[in-house]
Structure formats: C-alpha cells, structure tokens
Homo-oligomer: A and B are copies of this chain.
C-alpha cells in the first residue's frame, strides 16, 4: 500500500481539520495541547502519512472527542412514524409487537425499535451474537426487563442497557406497556 490514499487516512485528515476548526483552535495551539509536533499535525491534516494510534489518541483527547469520531463518516433526512405505525416485524408471538423505527446502513449497525406488550405478557429473547448491546426506554406502563438472570423493574421514562449476548426478557407488569429499544450489533 505504497502511495495509496488510504480511505482511512482521507477521512482522518478531514475529520481532524473539521473538529479543530469547529473548536476554533489553531493548528499550532492544538499541537501544543496534544503534545505532538506542529509538523506532524500539519502533515496529517494535509492527508500525508500514516499516524500511529498514540498520536491520534492524543489529538482526540485534546479535541475532547471520542476516538471513533476521527475515523467514521455521515447519514440522511426527515421522516415521521406515528405511534404504533412502524413497519411490523414478526408478530408471531401474540402479545409482542415490534416496530422498526430506524435501521442503520451497513457497517455500524444500529436498529431502533418500538415495542409493545399486552397486559402482563412476557417475551423471552434468545441470545444474539456477541457484541450486541440493547438500550431500552419505557414509554408507558411498567416493565420488567434485562438479562433473564437479573431483570430490573422499569417505569415510564426509565432507561436500561444490557448485553444482548445473553438470554433476556421483556415483560409488562400490571398492564400493557410500550418502549423504545435501540439495538447495536458488532
């Protein structure tokens, strides 16, 4: 990979300059803060060279942005889905209804679901692939959810996150319940 404008480096140089300007800091200043030579930073922003993680890390810290923000790109426009109007997925299980709100494009897969449980119903979910993480926000009703081994009680507005790699459940308590589920894959 000699002279190849390596895609990764391309995005890095752009992101780097972008975040620096957005923070309103000069190249020299940033270099000083991050503890790297001005020359190095200059070359990086002009898309030359192949930075080491140490260097990038230092810059990310100095810019006060997560590391990943320096290596990944963008996304789309306005859309509205009314309550309960999301495209239905596998409604085989009577009491469980899930609506897909937003599916992430390839790569950083991330799905947002709207889920609905009838009164005092329960749904057991098999473990997904390792690295899967679920985020759940209760919209209405009371739920008991999380890893089957250690679920938690949730009231409207409550939020919980847990690994999707182990058996887990969604259960409504004392009436119907709805929630927002964000699922991340690896």
Contacts and interface: CB of A to CB of B under 8 A. Distances in A.
Interface of A: 1, 6-9, 12, 15, 18, 22, 35, 50-54, 56-58, 65-69, 71-84, 86, 101-110, 112, 114, 129-131, 133, 135, 137, 139-140, 146-147, 150, 152, 154-163, 178, 180, 182, 184-186
Contact of A50 (B52, B106, B140): B52
A143 B130 CA distance: 37
B68 A72 contact: yes
List the 4 closest pairs (A to B, CB-CB), nearest first: A107-B108, A83-B157, A74-B131, A68-B68
Contacts of A159: 80-81, 83, 86, 101-102, 112, 114, 180
Nearest to A154: B80
Nearest to A83: B157
Nearest to A12: B53
Given A9-B54, A22-B130, A184 B68 contact: no
Contacts of A57: 6-8
A137 B139 contact: yes
Contacts of A35: 1
Contacts of A73: 108, 131, 186
Nearest to A77: B163
Contacts of A152: 78, 80
Nearest to A14: B186
